[in-house]
Amino acid sequence: MTTAEHSPEDVRRALWENDSAPNGLLRNARAEELVAAAESTGDRDLLRQALFGLIRAYEYSTERGKMLVPFARLMQEWDRDPSAFDAGDTHTFHWMFKWVSSGMLTLPEIPLATMEQWLTEMERRYRVAGHSERAVRQAEFELAEVTGDAARTARAFAAWTAAERDRMANCHACELNDQGAYWLSQGQDDKALRTWAPVLDGESACMEEPHRVLAKSLVPLVRTGRLDEARANHLRGYRMARGNESLLPSIGRHIEFCALTGNEGRGLEILSEHAAHLVSDGNPWARLELFTGALVLLRRLVALGIGEQPAVAYAGRQRTVRELHDLLDAEAAAIAARFDARNGSDVISGRLRRSLEQEPLVAALPLGVRAARLTGPTAVPGGAAAVAAGGNGKAGAAGGDREADTLPGLVAEARRLRTLGHPRAAALWDRVEALVAGTGGEAADPLLAADLLDHRALRAGRGGDPSAREHFERVAAAYRAAGEPSRAVLAELRVVSAAVGAGAEPGEIRDLLAAATASAHALAPEDPTRTRRTATAALTRIKVEAMLSHDHEDRNDRGDHGASRLGADLTGFVEQFAQHANDEGGVDDLLAEADRMRADLAWQAGDPDTAEELLSLAAQRAVASGHPWDAAEPMARRARLLMRLGRLAEAEEAARGALAHSAELVDPDELAPIRLTLAEVLYEQDGKEAEAADHALEAAHWYDAAGDSAGAGAYARLVLAQALGETGRAAEAAEVLESALPDLLEHGDEQVVRARDTLARNLRALGDRRAAAEQYLLAAEVAKGWEHAGPHAQLATLAAECLSGAGLRDEAVAAYQRAVELWENVGHPVALARALRSLAWLEVQRGDADTAKELMARALAAVGGEDAAQLAERARTWSQTAELLLGELDRQHEDDARDDGAYDNDGRRDAGRRDGGEDAPGPSAAAAAVRREAVRLLDQADAAFASLGPGALDERTRCAVQAAWAEYELGRAGAAVDRLRALIGEVRALGTEESRGCLPQLEHTLAQLERQD
């Protein structure tokens, strides 16, 4: 910018625009250009404004240290002529002293003596200006703390907090930030959190608060066990700080929090989003704070055994975790050393060292957001081993914890749990396997060797290993050799299942099944497991034949004709083996499985009552047999069925029962759907959304642990976001849903629309109407192809509302026009009238009152029905049409009325100039006619609202007030007063809380009219 091309007015306009630009290096560079341009004009006032703008730009960026030079120039301007600074500039000049003071602390090249001199100068100038010493003592506190002078820090803190607050004191939120940080440095977590409470609760805020306090609160919240608050503060706070380069220290704290709570994947994603700042030549203090958080994370990742995995790009190329750690570790140490050299202490390097020595605070704190899975030798995806908030972290087993340190004791316990079918048996076999491996790798006892082969085969089968069949064949042979024919039969049956999974030919599968069945029947009659093995073989045959029959029908392009046969086979199985339910080695769990399959068939056949009975029976069998963990799944399925039937109270009871019986489960695949079921049931009931959010959070965690983040895990996050939004936690809801949205976009149109609608609602609650409108429009694009146009119309309307709220008037008009077309096609008169009225008001804003009146007329015509909803919309249309007419009339007369003094001190037209009154100076028949029409419309609206009862009292009050002023303008003050007195009498007679709330407005208006009349 040059003077030849731009006038001082151009520079002023550019300064104003740059003040509103996003913080960062581009704004700084532009501010520097504008200082040069202002100086070239010779306008000293303009130069001061440019210097103020440059200092503000530096303050909210990584270049805070650069403000020293422009502030020095401002001081020269002040010392030259203080009278040239008006009151506002004088305040700003002294306020910026504090910025420079704190900015010096962040630059290790500024000598300690210089900072002391500056503090003395600040104190002198504040005293001359008549300001309290509060801001000066805070500046001294900050200097003493950075340099490690504990005694001076305590004295300055006491003097700062005792001094009087005046206009130079930092905002209350910023002061509380620093005061809480002081108590945190003293090891007093609880006191720090109490100090920060007004900021965290939203009672005190500013441009950078609660952003910074939210970040500082994370670790002390975890240390004090307030995990839910820590989670919420992370989700809310990171959303505020993300991408803001003036808040890089806060970003570092969010990364540190993730590293210490089992959320390393999330921490790495945050680091990736801010990787560009790792190599920027920014403020050394801010870089050190960011590096500290990053190093806590990187050290944790190295400890998890994934040091060779990719991290983020640094200095032009991709780095591994270990490489990045070593680079940042060296740079952080160098920065800390520079501060220590300046300060004459090891305070800064000591803080860095203590931060890097931290160990994880909890094994896992589920956050709800979708994050990358980490893989490595010791990485535990999703923190499945233990859950800090909820989950199943127990190590005990049913019947008591009887684990032994010796191998024989451990084997005995593992076999006992295996016989019970206990979910924790596998974990004990893992320990047995590890002990055997530690003593040479192979078990000397043939039976134990067979047991370990069986354990490995089951692990292979669960993992989808294609060689699982061969594993189970070796297991069968090993058990026979060890003299355990019953275990061999079970292995043979597992060979059948593995062959089915591997896609073997039907004939081969049937041969394997026949051989296994024969082995079961060949067991000795006195073998207590004989009945159970023959029952297992029978149920396996039913399932295999159903599967083979289904595959055959699919290949022949025929429908499923085997359902009835499968149902008959299952019923026959239950009838055959029910008599053995209480035998040793009973078959209750097999009967329960058959009941679950029968329930599925009943539901598919459209018989929900039978399905519910069978699921209930399956759960009862599991509990009666001493296997309560087996009851969890059928109880959860019954809860889902009852929910679909609308029997929510029963569904909740069943879902809670499922959760109670899942206490011994360890498999994430089993734990996740139980929690999701309860979350859904609770969400469907008013007032239970907060608890629904808790269970949806756990469900998402367990789906992550199961490796299903993109599938059911994404849906769990959708439920979580909806529940959070309903409880007023919009920032958390948006953060969760944005992380899951890419996955949900693959879930089908219905969930896509639901997800975008939910995200839009929460963005709207956060005040981001533009982003909300975008989500509504994208959802509407998906819904436009649906058979019923109602959702499309609703989404178009919501998008229009958000576009209008964002000031995008033309886009809002287009969206409302589309919504009007859709509502006309749907045949929804109430929604149509509302859209037409909204469109009318947008046309008023665009200056087209005639089109607005036409739209109001269309809205009135749309709601001609006699039901209460349409009557209410007619009343609103009459009322708003009157408001439109009166507003247009006021706009037409406003300029002339001001010129001739026709407005009194209250902004109302003077009584002597009322349209149509006896003292009217000239023709105003047209204006009077408009007001009479408005009164007529308001009378119609009033009558309609009155007929709708007390629920419409607020709207009736607004009508009465508007009609009273219109009558007053017509010279009918008496009628206006009578109207209000009559309504006040009605309202007082009602005597309700709602009616009492309407009285102040009516009484105030009446008093104004009586005074003016």
Assess whether pLDDT exceeds 60 at residue 250. Answer: yes
CA 300 distance to own-chain centroid: 26
Assess whether pLDDT exceeds 90 at residue 790. Answer: yes
Predicted confidence band at 891 (pLDDT cuts at 50, 70, 90)? confident
- Does a cis peptide bond (omega within 30 degrees of 0) precede residue 608? no
Predicted confidence band at 282 (pLDDT cuts at 50, 70, 90)? confident
Q: Is 806 helix (H, G, I), strand (E, B) or coil?
A: coil
What does the angle CA 306 – CA 311 – CA 312 come to, to the nearest 5 degrees? 175
Q: Stretch 4-9: mean pLDDT, rounded?
A: 74
Number of CB atoms found within 10 A of residue 65's CB: 22
Backbone angles phi, psi at 359, to 5 degrees: -100, 160
Q: Stretch 683-708: mean pLDDT, rounded?
A: 96
Bridge-partner residues for 206, per DSSP?
A: 209
Q: Is 319 helix (H, G, I), strand (E, B) or coil?
A: strand
pLDDT digits (tens, 9 = 90+) for 640-677: 999 999 999 999 999 999 999 999 999 999 999 999 99
| Residue whose tokens read 């910023």 | 174
Q: Stretch 811-839: mean pLDDT, rounded?
A: 96
Q: Stretch 156-172: mean pLDDT, rounded?
A: 96
Residue type, 300: R
514: CB partners within 8 A, 6+ apart: none
Decide which of 282 and 314 is more confident. 314
Rounded to whole angstroms, how far apart are CA atoms 61 and 22?
10
Q: How much is the pLDDT for 5?
A: 57
pLDDT digits (tens, 9 = 90+) for 75-110: 999 999 999 999 999 999 999 999 999 999 999 999
Q: Is 764 helix (H, G, I), strand (E, B) or coil?
A: helix
Rounded to whole angstroms, how far apart are CA atoms 307 and 299?
9
Rounded to whole angstroms, how far apart are CA atoms 42 and 39?
6
Assess whether pLDDT exceeds 80 at residue 391. Answer: no
> What letter does residue 903 receive in the DSSP assignment?
B
Q: How much is the pLDDT for 245?
A: 85
Whether 679 contacts 720, CB under 8 Å: yes
Q: Is 320 helix (H, G, I), strand (E, B) or coil?
A: strand
Decide which of 183 and 908 is more confident. 183
The mean-pLDDT minimum among 301-310, 335-344, 371-380, 491-500 falls in: 371-380
Q: How much is the pLDDT for 377?
A: 66
Rounded to whole angstroms, how far apart are CA atoms 876 and 944?
9
Q: How much is the pLDDT for 921?
A: 37
pLDDT digits (tens, 9 = 90+) for 566-588: 999 999 999 999 887 666 667 98
Residue type, 599: A
Chain-wide mean pLDDT for the chain? Answer: 90
Q: How much is the pLDDT for 441?
A: 67
Rounded to whole angstroms, how far apart are CA atoms 695 and 677?
9
Rounded to whole angstroms, how far apart are CA atoms 56 and 32?
11
Q: How much is the pLDDT for 153?
A: 97
Rounded to whole angstroms, how far apart are CA atoms 439 and 918?
114
CA 183 distance to own-chain centroid: 30
Q: How much is the pLDDT for 801?
A: 97
CA 426 distance to own-chain centroid: 36
Q: How much is the pLDDT for 390?
A: 40
Q: How much is the pLDDT for 552?
A: 54
Assess whether pLDDT exceeds 90 at residue 4. Answer: no
> What tokens were used for 586?
């009973």
Predicted confidence band at 381 (pLDDT cuts at 50, 70, 90)? very low
The mean-pLDDT minimum among 5-19, 83-97, 286-300, 660-674 falls in: 5-19
pLDDT digits (tens, 9 = 90+) for 458-470: 999 988 899 999 9
pLDDT digits (tens, 9 = 90+) for 902-960: 444 333 444 434 444 444 433 478 899 999 999 999 999 999 999 999 999 999 999 99
Assess whether pLDDT exceeds 90 at residue 337. Answer: yes
Pairing status of strand 317-320 against strand 310-314: antiparallel
Predicted confidence band at 387 (pLDDT cuts at 50, 70, 90)? very low
3-state helix, strand, coil in the chain (%, to 5): 75, 0, 25
Rounded to whole angstroms, how far apart are CA atoms 88 and 435?
77
Q: How much is the pLDDT for 63?
A: 85
pLDDT digits (tens, 9 = 90+) for 491-539: 999 999 999 999 999 999 999 999 999 999 999 999 999 999 999 999 9
Whether 407 contacts 432, CB under 8 Å: yes
Query: What percent of the chain lies above the pLDDT cut of 90?
Result: 81
Rounded to whole angstroms, how far apart are CA atoms 537 and 520?
7
pLDDT digits (tens, 9 = 90+) for 540-566: 999 999 988 876 555 444 445 568 899
Rounded to whole angstroms, how far apart are CA atoms 131 and 699?
56
Q: How much is the pLDDT for 560?
A: 53
> What tokens were used for 111?
């000598």
Predicted confidence band at 438 (pLDDT cuts at 50, 70, 90)? confident
Rounded to whole angstroms, how far apart are CA atoms 213 and 175?
11
Closest residue by Cα to residue 462 from 438, 434, 429: 429
- Does a cis peptide bond (omega within 30 degrees of 0) precede residue 210? yes
